[in-house]
């Protein structure tokens, strides 16, 4: 009691009843915005914070809820919500999450019974809150040496919410939002494989056209599925999805654009499309600058350095292996350069590139590779159709095709 000297018992009571009234009004008026506000625990709005204080003073809020017919039907929601608020205010995120999940469960029970989808906004808030709360609770748990498991629980709760929305009907519009929350959970947990079932239900359902989902959700969805395609090394698909996200996202949200570009650029690079420098500068993606440079110049050393330098970052974002595979394109560029130089010297013999020349070029780049290794790389280049021609083992010469010896990728991935 002493902790909240500014509030009297009467004041606390008044605030609680005010909240209860606003809640029941929002429900009866189908005012999703107000409801959303009332449920947004982590918004730290002064109204909710003072309510939390009031709840800590006036301990018997349960009786208040049960007292009135207006609220008693929502007692499961409200009671647990109050407890969640209370503990949230006290910094006990674990308990807060627990209570919030119960409250949210009760809420979706109600939501199920509402025929129209008016409360979707409120449900979004719920889905968001539960994820954020779970993340914070997990952080707490981890710092206390306990195993963080709340995010996992949030994942399964969200799956339940998804089930409520995914059916036929007006509520389906909300499914994609929940899906995106689920993606966030799964990506954080590293259980990306769990995304598959949700994706399937979104993409295979004929009852709802994907384009009818809110744009915001579509962008998020495309972003995450694009990232999944990067994991799968399915670059054309990743390109499609990430490009969709980029073209449809809010152009003023630079952070979002950056996030998309972080994956889109490696994808584009791997299919032979290089970004302009200003783009990298504008969105602060300088870690890619050297990579792009290396590709332009055929500078293997630069590529390797860049990869080494940003290895941690690339590994964490999951593009390391994508970038590493650019090596072949760098080799291609290198051979092409040699070819161009030879052509300038003697156009008739330009299409025969001696292996020792390439080895020498690599030496200049401080790449210590012997003939066998380079031969192998040339063989791979030809095999993957980055170089047209053949390798003559006896004479150790790469014989280039006279027509288009270095085919451009033009948006197609390297053959694998």
Partner 1 sequence: MQHHSHLVHRVWEQQMYHKITMAMHHTLILLIHMVMELQDTRVTIIAIRSSSSSSLTILAISSSLTTPAISRNLTTPAISSSLITPAISSSLIIPAISSSLIPATSSSLIPATSSSTLTLPIHNLWEHIKTQTAGGYPSSGYSNQTTTWSDGSYANYTPHQYANYTPDSSTSAYSSGTVTAPSSHYQQQQYKQWADYYSQTEVSCAPGTENMTVASKSNVGCPIPGVSSGYSTSTSQAPPSYTPSWMPESSSSEFSSVQPAAGISSASDAYWQHGAPSSQIHITSPMQPQSQKPLDPKTTYDSFLDQQKAAYSQGHNLQYPATHQVPQSYQSPANQQVPQSYQSPAQIVPSSDTRRVSKLQIPTNPRIASNLTFGLPKTDKDSSTAGAAVKPAYISVSQPKANEKVLSNDAADSMLKPGTFPKSLRGYVERALVRCKGDMQMEACQDFMKEMITKATADGTLYTRDWDTEPLFPLPNVDAVNKDLQSSTPGSSLPKYKRSPSRRSKSRWEPLPEEKFVDKSASVMSDTMKYGGWINANDKDRKPFFGNNGNKENNMSGMKFSPLDQKNASKNAQRPVKKQRYADGFNVADNCDASSDSDKEQSLTAYYSSAITLANTPEEKKRRENRSKRFEKRQGRTESNQFKPKNAGAGNLYSRRASALVLSKTFEDGAARAVEDIDWDSLTVKGTCQEIEKRYLRLTSAPDPASVRPEEVLEKALDMVHNSQKNYLYKCDQLKSIRQDLTVQRIRNWLTVKVYETHARLALEVGDLFEYNQCQSQLKTLYAEGIEGCHMEFSAYNLLCVILHSNNYRDLLSSMSRLSDEAKKDETVKHALAVRAAVTSENYVMFFRLYKTAPYLSTCLMDLYVEKMRYKAVSCMSRSYRPTIPVSYVAQVLGFITARPRNEGSDEKDSDGLGECVDWLKAHGACLIADNNGEMQLDTKASCASLFVPEPEDAVAHGDANLAVNDFLTRTSL
Helix (H) or strand (E) holding 390: strand 389-392
* DSSP secondary structure code for residue 389 in this structure: E
Indicate the DSSP class of residue 401. Answer: -
Q: By C-beta, is 97 or 391 nearer to partner 1?
A: 391
Nearest-angstrom CA–CA distance, 218 and 184 = 14
210 sits near partner 1 (criterion: CB under 8 A): no
318 near partner 1, rule: CB under 8 A: yes
276: Cβ contacts below 8 Å, ≥ 6 apart? none
Binder among 379, 396, 401, 407 for partner 1 (CB under 8 A):
379
* Sites for partner 1 among residues 214-233 (CB under 8 A): 231-233
How many residues bind partner 1 (CB under 8 A)? The answer is: 31
Least distance to partner 1, CB of residue 85, Å = 37
Site for partner 1 in 182-201 (CB under 8 A): 190, 192
CA angle 149, 218, 152 (to 5 degrees): 5
Helix (H, G, I), strand (E, B) or coil at 68: coil
The verdict on 324 binding partner 1 (CB under 8 A) reads yes
Q: Which is nearer to partner 1, 217 or 229 (CB)?
A: 229
User: Quick count: other Cβ atoms within 10 Å of Cβ 283?
Assistant: 19
Contact between 321 and partner 1 by CB under 8 A: the answer reads yes
Question: Residue 49 or residue 271: which is nearer to partner 1 going by CB?
Answer: 271
* Minimum distance, C-beta of residue 368 to partner 1, in the bound complex (Å): 13
The residue count for the chain: 416
According to the binding rule CB under 8 A, does residue 99 interact with partner 1? no
At its nearest, how many Å lie between partner 1 and the CB of residue 272?
17
Alpha helix stretches (DSSP H) within 90-189: 93-113, 120-143, 150-165, 175-189
Can you tell me which of 316, 349, 360, 408 binds partner 1, judged by CB under 8 A?
316
For residue 315, state whether it binds partner 1 (rule: CB under 8 A). yes
Least Å distance, CB 336 to partner 1, is 17
- Answer yes or no whether residue 211 interacts with partner 1 by CB under 8 A: no
Can residue 383 be called a binding residue for partner 1 (CB under 8 A)? yes
Neighbouring C-alpha atoms within 13 Å toward the C-beta of 136? 18
Supply 128's token pair. Answer: 């968001």
8 Å CB contact between 80 and 99: yes
- φ, ψ of residue 107 to 5 degrees: the values are -65, -45
Are the beta carbons of 131 and 184 closer than 8 angstroms? yes
Q: Does 341 bind partner 1 (CB under 8 A)?
A: no
Task: Please tell me whether residue 95 binds partner 1 under the rule CB under 8 A.
Answer: no
Residue list 159-178, contact with partner 1 (CB under 8 A): none
Give the span between the Cα atoms of 111 and 123, in whole angstroms: 8
Residue 47 or 320: which CB sits closer to partner 1?
Answer: 320
**Token output for 373:** 């290794």
Token readout for 86 is 């209370």
Of positions 165, 246, 377, 409, contacts partner 1 by CB under 8 A: 377
Binding stretches for partner 1 (CB under 8 A): 190, 192, 231-233, 312, 315-316, 318, 320-321, 324-325, 327-328, 372-373, 375-383, 390-393, 399
């Amino acid at each position: 009691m002493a902790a909240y000297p500014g509030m009297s018992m009467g004041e606390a009571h008044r605030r609680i009843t005010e909240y209860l009234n606003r809640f029941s009004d929002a429900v009866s008026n189908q005012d999703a915005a107000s409801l959303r506000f009332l449920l947004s625990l982590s918004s730290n709005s002064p109204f909710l914070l003072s309510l939390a204080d009031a709840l800590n003073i006036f301990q018997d809020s349960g009786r208040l809820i049960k007292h009135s017919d207006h609220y008693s039907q929502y007692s499961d929601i409200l009671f647990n919500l109050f407890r969640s608020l209370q503990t949230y205010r006290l910094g006990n995120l674990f308990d807060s999450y627990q209570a919030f999940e119960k409250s949210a469960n009760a809420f979706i029970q109600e939501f199920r019974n509402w025929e129209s989808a008016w409360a979707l906004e409120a449900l979004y808030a719920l889905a968001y809150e539960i994820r954020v709360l779970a993340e914070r609770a997990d952080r707490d748990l981890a710092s206390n040496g306990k195993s963080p498991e709340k995010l996992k629980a949030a994942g399964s709760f969200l799956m339940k919410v998804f089930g409520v929305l995914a059916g036929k009907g007006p509520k389906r519009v909300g499914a994609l939002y929940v899906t995106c929350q689920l993606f966030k959970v799964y990506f954080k947990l590293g259980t990306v494989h769990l995304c598959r079932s949700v994706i399937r239900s979104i993409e295979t359902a004929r009852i709802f056209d994907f384009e009818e989902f809110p744009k915001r959700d579509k962008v998020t969805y495309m972003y995450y599925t694009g990232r999944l395609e990067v994991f799968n090394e399915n670059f054309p698909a990743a390109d499609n999805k990430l490009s969709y996200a980029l073209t449809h996202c809010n152009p003023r949200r630079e952070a979002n654009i950056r996030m998309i570009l972080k994956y889109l650029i490696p994808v584009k690079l791997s299919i032979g499309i290089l970004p302009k420098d200003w783009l990298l500068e504008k969105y602060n993606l300088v870690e890619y600058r050297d990579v792009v440079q290396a590709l332009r110049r055929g500078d293997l050393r630069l590529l390797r350095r860049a990869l080494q330098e940003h290895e941690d970052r690339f590994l964490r974002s999951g593009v390391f292996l994508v970038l590493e595979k650019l090596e072949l394109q760098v080799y291609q560029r290198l051979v092409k350069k040699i070819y161009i130089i030879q052509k300038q010297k003697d156009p008739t013999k330009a299409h025969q590139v001696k292996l020792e020349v390439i080895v020498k070029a690599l030496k200049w780049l401080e790449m210590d590779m012997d003939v066998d290794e380079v031969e192998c790389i040339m063989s791979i280049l030809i095999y993957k159709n980055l170089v047209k021609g053949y390798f003559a083992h006896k004479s150790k010469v790469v014989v280039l095709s006279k027509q288009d010896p270095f085919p451009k990728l033009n948006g197609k991935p390297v053959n694998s």
